[in-house]
Each structure stands twice: as structure tokens, then as C-alpha cells.
């Protein structure tokens, strides 16, 4: 298979669905960790094609959504410093912080610029040597290596005005925290495809070993996801729990060793705050001491102010899979993609946005 269309062939999808329906006799409550999977599942209406024994839950794997308001407020405060150029990926612009958003402070005169890669941010630092340039480092293991590479590049070039605000998160500790909380009982985990491209499928072995939960890494096309569900249901039916890969074209057991090396040379793990989950040990990445001069939090003096949560928003519960977006009283009335109250409605990978856009066909 070489092309995307081949992963959307309806006769193959129907064959997989028939097979899942035939073999599935036990309750199979599966969580897709990744927001990209949530969107694909909703967009292609996969949930209602599966037998009633299979229940799908959406997890916290949207990096924009899990960024805590206190951390977002730091970015907004940094953007207001004199001379500052704050660079960010587009999804973060509209996310409401405690009192404002990056978009609003930009409208008020702050120099907040949209970039498509860290290389764009580095270029801005080269072109504006007298001004500080901060890159807002949001994302999981998927994006952290490119941010680490930008820091190494800045050091090599002797750029003194390039910094990052590292709000990066690593996923396995968040899964562990979810499972330890006991709030949600799972029979299977659809492991994130892009994250596993970097971490490798071995990152999930503790879930199968310590919690007895089958794990399968999935790609993002309908056939990828259905194959993943099939593999999970087979394990559940045989009372097995191991890690498998249904995304061989992207993921290896050992991951991307070069990317892991770059990350490990630049970052160290640290506690991080996840929206709805609080502080999770070892789930964040901060720059190592030797790279402190690139760390915006260490270099700049700024006050993000007290943290306020959006009133009425239940993003935290949605991210922990204890409620669905439809259970939020603001869903699709007060809160829409045009007027988002919380980040799960802003992000293209957010559950609330996916329910809003595809809810009629996706549930
Ligand atoms: Fe928050 Fe809006 Fe989602 Fe409700 S619908 S949980 S207010 S983002």
C-alpha cells in the first residue's frame, strides 16, 4: 500500500468491521490517547460502525488542549515584554488564557508571529539581533526533537537572542497517571501513532505489563484504526496484554533513535501541569542546565498573574475521558469553534471541536 486512498477502501473496512463483530464477545472499552485519532474516528464515523461490545473513549492526547492555563499565561505575559517577538504554531493563538489570548494581545500591539517550524523562529532571531525571539514550545515527543535541534543550531551559530518556553510534555507518564487515578476503566489502549514514531512502541510496554491492558499503536486512516481495534479485540478475547503495532509504515519498536538522542542531549524530564490532571511527575521536558541561556523562563522576568479557569468549561473532565463534550452545558451554544471557551474547542485535535464538526456522523 502506497497511497492514502488504499487506507480508505470501503470493502476492506467492511471486512474488518464484520470480523470485529464476529470475534467480539467481551466488553472492550478502548481509549484513543491521541487527538488525531479522535478526529479520524469522528470524521469517518467509525464509532457507530463497531459492534455494541466495543466502546471508544477519547483521551488527553491533544497538546494544545492539555496546556494548562498557568502555562499559557506565561506565554501571554512574555509576549507583552518590551521588544519581544513571540513565535508560535497557529493553534495556540486563539486558546483563551486566564484573562486574554495570544490573539488578543497581538491585536493590542504585542509582536506575536505565526511560524510553521522552529527554523522560521530561528530565522527571525537572525534577522532581529537586537530583539529577543521566543519560540513557544508546545507539543509531545513528536515536536520536541525539532525544538531541541533549534536550540543546538542557535548555540552553534552563537545566537544570543533565541529562547524557548518549553511547555513540552511526554505521554507515557500521563497515561500512567490516568490509569492510577482509577477514574476510567479500560480494556485496551489505542497508542498514539506520531508520538510512537519517536518513542517507539516499547514506551507502552508498562501499560500491558503493569496494568494488563492490551496496547496497539495505530495510524490515522480508517483502515489503520479498524485494524488496530481488531488487534485489540483479539487480545481482549484471548485475555492477553501485549504491545503491537498496526502502523508499521511509521513506527518501530525502538523508535527514532536519532530524535531521541537529540532530545536527551538537550532536555531533561521534569514535572508538568496537564489541564484537568494537575501536576504529573516526569511528564514535562525542560532544558538542561547547560542550555539555560535559551530558556525563556530562566532569562526573562515576567509575571503571568493569578490563574483563572474558563467558567463552565469542563475540558479537564473531557480530557480525562470522564465526560464527553456533549455533557458540557456550553457545548455548541456558548462555545463553538468561532467563539471557543476552552482549548478543546480551539484545537484542530480537540474533542469538543471534533464533536462539533463531525458529531452528527461520528457518534
Ligand atoms: Fe470547554 Fe467548550 Fe468543550 Fe465545554 S464545549 S468543555 S466550554 S471547550
**Residues 107-125: tens digit of each pLDDT:** 999 999 999 999 999 999 9
Report, as an integer, the average pLDDT of 26-48.
95
Q: What is the band of 2 on the pLDDT scale with cuts at 50, 70, 90?
A: low
Mutate to test the pocket of ligand 1, among 345, 353, 357, 359 (most ligand atoms within 8 A of CB): 345
Atom 5 in ligand 1: which residue has the minimum CA distance? 331
In order of 89, 148, 228, the CA distances from 201 in angstroms are 27, 22, 13
pLDDT of residue 301 exceeding 80? yes
Cell (9 digits) for 189 = 489502549
Cell (9 digits) for 25 = 464477545
pLDDT of residue 134 exceeding 60? yes
Q: Largest alpha-carbon pair distance within the chain?
A: 66
Output the pLDDT for position 90.
86
330 lines ligand 1 (CB under 6 A): yes
Q: Which residues, in sequence order, are CB contacts of 121 under 8 Å at separation 6+?
A: 87, 115, 133, 135, 150, 162
59 lines ligand 1 (CB under 6 A): no
What is the Å distance from ligand 1's center to 328 Cα? 6
Output the pLDDT for position 257.
98
Output the pLDDT for position 8.
72
What is the Å distance from ligand 1's center to 17 Cα? 32
Report, as an integer, the average pLDDT of 155-183.
97
331 lines ligand 1 (CB under 6 A): yes
Output the pLDDT for position 12.
87
pLDDT of residue 53 exceeding 50? yes
Output the pLDDT for position 220.
95
What is the Å distance from ligand 1's center to 361 Cα? 20
Q: For all residues of the chain together, what is the average pLDDT?
A: 95
Output the pLDDT for position 10.
80
What is the Å distance from ligand 1's center to 359 Cα? 14
Report, as an integer, the average pLDDT of 47-64.
94
Atom 8 in ligand 1: which residue has the minimum CA distance? 342
By the 8 A CB rule, do 220 and 192 touch? no
Among 2-16, 129-143, 223-237, 319-333, the least confident range? 2-16
The minimum-distance atom of ligand 1 relative to the CA of 340 is 2
Mutate to test the pocket of ligand 1, among 65, 319, 322, 344 (most ligand atoms within 8 A of CB): 344
pLDDT of residue 9 exceeding 80? no
What is the Å distance from ligand 1's center to 3 Cα? 36
Degrees to nearest 5, angle at CA 35 with 30 and 36 = 100
Output the pLDDT for position 11.
81
In whole angstroms, give the CA distance from residue 233 to residue 227: 10
pLDDT of residue 361 exceeding 80? no
Q: What is the pLDDT of residues 246-281, one digit of tens each?
A: 999 999 999 999 999 999 999 999 999 999 999 999
What is the Å distance from ligand 1's center to 324 Cα? 10
User: Residues of the chain with pLDDT > 90: what percent?
Assistant: 93
pLDDT of residue 7 exceeding 80? no
- Report residue 147 CA to chain centroid gap: 16
Output the pLDDT for position 362.
46
pLDDT of residue 363 exceeding 60? no
The minimum-distance atom of ligand 1 relative to the CA of 332 is 5
pLDDT of residue 310 exceeding 80? yes
What is the Å distance from ligand 1's center to 23 Cα? 36
Alpha helix ranges (H) inside 59-117: 63-66, 69-79, 102-107
What is the Å distance from ligand 1's center to 325 Cα? 6
Beta strands in 75-187 (DSSP E): 85-88, 111-114, 133-137, 162-166
Output the pLDDT for position 91.
85
Amino acid at each position: 500500500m502506497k497511497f492514502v486512498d488504499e487506507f480508505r477502501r470501503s470493502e476492506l473496512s467492511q471486512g474488518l468491521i464484520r470480523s470485529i463483530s464476529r470475534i467480539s464477545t467481551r466488553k472492550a472499552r478502548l481509549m484513543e490517547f491521541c487527538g488525531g485519532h479522535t478526529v479520524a474516528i469522528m470524521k469517518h464515523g467509525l464509532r457507530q460502525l463497531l459492534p455494541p461490545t466495543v466502546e471508544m473513549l477519547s483521551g488527553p492526547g491533544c497538546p494544545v488542549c492539555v496546556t494548562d492555563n498557568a502555562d499559557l499565561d506565561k506565554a501571554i505575559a512574555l509576549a507583552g515584554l518590551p521588544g519581544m517577538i513571540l513565535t508560535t504554531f497557529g493553534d495556540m493563538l486563539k486558546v483563551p488564557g486566564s484573562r486574554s489570548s495570544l490573539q488578543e494581545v497581538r491585536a493590542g500591539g504585542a509582536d506575536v508571529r505565526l511560524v510553521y517550524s522552529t527554523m522560521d523562529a530561528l530565522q527571525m532571531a537572525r534577522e532581529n539581533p537586537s530583539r529577543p525571539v521566543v519560540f513557544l514550545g508546545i507539543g509531545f515527543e513528536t515536536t520536541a526533537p525539532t525544538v531541541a535541534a533549534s536550540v543546538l543550531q542557535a548555540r552553534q551559530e552563537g545566537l544570543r537572542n533565541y529562547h524557548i518556553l518549553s511547555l513540552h510534555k511526554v505521554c507515557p507518564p500521563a497515561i500512567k497517571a490516568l490509569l492510577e487515578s482509577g477514574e476510567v476503566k479500560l480494556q485496551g489502549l489505542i497508542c498514539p501513532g506520531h508520538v510512537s514514531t519517536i518513542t517507539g512502541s516499547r514506551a507502552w510496554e508498562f501499560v500491558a505489563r503493569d496494568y494488563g491492558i492490551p496496547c496497539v499503536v495505530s495510524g490515522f486512516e480508517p483502515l489503520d484504526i479498524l485494524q488496530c481495534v481488531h488487534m485489540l479485540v483479539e487480545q481482549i478475547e484471548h485475555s492477553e496484554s501485549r504491545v503491537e503495532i498496526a502502523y508499521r509504515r511509521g513506527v518501530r519498536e525502538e523508535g527514532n533513535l536519532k530524535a531521541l538522542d537529540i532530545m536527551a542531549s538537550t532536555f531533561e524530564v521534569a514535572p508538568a501541569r496537564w489541564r484537568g490532571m494537575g501536576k504529573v511527575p516526569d511528564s514535562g521536558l525542560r532544558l538542561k542546565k547547560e542550555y539555560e541561556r535559551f530558556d525563556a523562563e530562566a532569562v526573562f522576568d515576567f509575571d503571568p498573574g493569578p490563574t483563572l479557569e474558563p467558567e463552565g468549561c469542563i475540558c479537564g473532565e473531557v480530557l480525562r475521558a470522564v465526560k464527553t463534550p456533549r455533557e458540557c452545558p456550553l457545548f455548541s451554544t456558548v462555545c463553538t469553534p468561532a467563539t471557543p471557551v476552552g482549548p478543546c474547542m480551539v484545537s484542530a485535535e480537540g474533542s469538543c471541536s471534533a464533536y462539533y464538526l463531525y458529531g452528527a456522523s461520528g457518534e
